[in-house]
Structure 1
Amino acid sequence: MRSQPMICIADDDEAIRDLLAIYLKNEGYKLCFAKTGKEVLDLVATETIDLVILDLMMPVMDGIATCIEIRKTQFMPILMLTAKTSDLDLMQGISVGADDYMKKPFNPLEVTLRVKSLLRRYRDYGADRIETTNELVYEDVTLNLQTRQCIKGERMIRLTPKEFDILAYFMRQPNQVLTVEQIYEAVWGEEAFEVDNTVMVHITKIREKIEETPRRPSYIKTVWGVGYRL
């Protein structure tokens, strides 16, 4: 990642784009802008984008469809903005590959903090730990910490940045029961406050990608009333 990360602000509301630009420019970030999902995809295809701030409700192609298309080829963090408040709407964004979300109206300072956290976790996850290898291995699943690739057997598994970080966290602590709060604080780098279903949705997506039978997982298992265990 470059010393000055490039952030794409995608929102059809000019006032929101301008507001976020003020705060993010003050942090030294480079910025590009999009008003529609189609414009986002064009930018992602032609520019090196380090993070996307993606509005859920946009013309031409909404945030959900845009996120799905981005995740076919790209793994940069995606922070979704939404004026919708139902858990179903919020979880839908995460389920298709968004790493985090914020409800509108939002505090631009909090958005800036979320951006910093997402970039830091994507760039430096595990950097504070001493690694003897660039790989983490559990049974037939291998994570390459340098390329951030996941391989199961001979098959490449496409994980989002948050999915990769969650699985790496489990693989560093096999056979240990981890609470939702522990997972959230380790991976999101924030205090676990009103975490709701965020961690659960990410683990469900990981299971869908690495398990032969996601409803009967053999890797990440639920420890009822406590958390999860690899």
Structure 2
Amino acid sequence: MEKQENILLVEDDYEIARVVSDHLRKEGYQVTWASTGKEGLEDFRHGDYSLVIADLMLPELDGYSLCEAIRHGSDVPLLIISARQSDSSKIKGLGLGADDYITKPFSLGELSARICSHLKRYRRYSQQPFRQTRVEYHNGLAVDFTAQALYLHGEPLTLTAIEKDLFFLFAKHPFQTFTKSDLYKWIWGQDHLNAGNTVTVHIKSLRTKLSDSSRSPKFIQTVWGEGYRFIGEPLS
């Protein structure tokens, strides 16, 4: 293997996680282990992973919600491993964007084969990662996607960590609408939006720093009854 692929394993059973991690490392992969769904989402958002393996029965954030959140921000191969063998569980998991569903117990050889297959398919056919490093938009906005820096009319913008996470999720998926529930799962790692106007407050603050208006938006548009999306127009 020319380059070590980095795999995120989200599994709350220590023994299973240890066995799988040791096996994959012997196969030449780098492995990051998270023991809760929330920890797994946090690791994913701030890491660079080639593939994710996730259990369904996870504390803090269940596997279904984790899969859904990951799919909002990435096309990375996503494998579910679970003791649930019902068709309804498989259909729900695959319907949320998982690429494969492996029931426990499984052989390590089968897991390796499936990982190898999905990685090859992803590299060959999947949408490539966001490649642009710096994009300039109409209305004075410039974005450095590599350094995660924003400039408005040549002046750097100082964003909080949450504002930055929100902006780059929007900007990397232009014209894709994200509901408040979507954003709450992705940014805060929670199953349900139960913090009142949390999302609204952060969107308002982000708009203020972008000198944007909710009535005549240049960058962050409210899709009434649905959510928000990025509508910045790149300079040709």
How far is the alpha carbon of 1:156 from its aligned partner? 6.1
Distance 1:76 1:146 in 2: 10
What does residue range 1-230 of structure 1 map to in structure 2 within 5 Å?
Answer: 3-125=3-125, 146=128
- SS of aligned partner of 1:58: coil
Higher CA-based Rg: 2
The code of the aligned residue for 1:86 comes to S
Which consecutive unaligned segments of at least 5 residues does structure 1 have? 127-144, 159-230
Q: Name the CA shift for 1:122/1:148 in 2 (closer, same or farther; >3 Å).
A: farther
Contact kept? 1:9, 1:34, Cα under 8 Å = yes
Distance 1:125 1:45 in 2: 23
Contact kept? 1:9, 1:52, Cα under 8 Å = yes
TM-score, normalised by the number of residues in structure 2: 0.53
Q: 1:83-103 CA distances to partner (integer Å, 9 max, x unpaired)?
A: 111100111000001000100
The code of the aligned residue for 2:93 comes to G
Distance 2:65 2:128 in 1: 29
Q: Name the CA shift for 1:36/1:147 in 2 (closer, same or farther; >3 Å).
A: closer
Q: 1:58-88 CA distances to partner (integer Å, 9 max, x unpaired)?
A: 1111100111111111110000011111100
How far is the alpha carbon of 1:48 from its aligned partner? 0.2
How far is the alpha carbon of 1:125 from its aligned partner? 3.1
Over the residues paired in the alignment, what is the CA RMSD in angstroms?
Answer: 2.4
The code of the aligned residue for 2:6 comes to M
Q: 1:23-71 CA distances to partner (integer Å, 9 max, x unpaired)?
A: 2111110110011110111111111011000001111111001111111
Distance 1:101 1:121 in 2: 16
How far is the alpha carbon of 1:109 from its aligned partner? 1.1
- SS of aligned partner of 2:73: coil
Distance 2:85 2:91 in 1: 10
The code of the aligned residue for 1:63 comes to G
Contact kept? 1:23, 1:109, Cα under 8 Å = no
Distance 2:89 2:43 in 1: 26
Distance 2:107 2:177 in 1: 35
Q: Name the CA shift for 1:146/1:45 in 2 (closer, same or farther; >3 Å).
A: closer
Distance 2:129 2:25 in 1: 29
TM-score, normalised by the number of residues in structure 1: 0.54
How far is the alpha carbon of 1:157 from its aligned partner? 9.9
- SS of aligned partner of 1:31: strand
Which consecutive unaligned segments of at least 5 residues does structure 2 have? 132-173, 179-236
Distance 2:177 2:109 in 1: 35
The runs of at least 4 aligned residues of structure 1 exceeding 2 Å deviation read 145-149, 154-158
Distance 1:118 1:49 in 2: 13
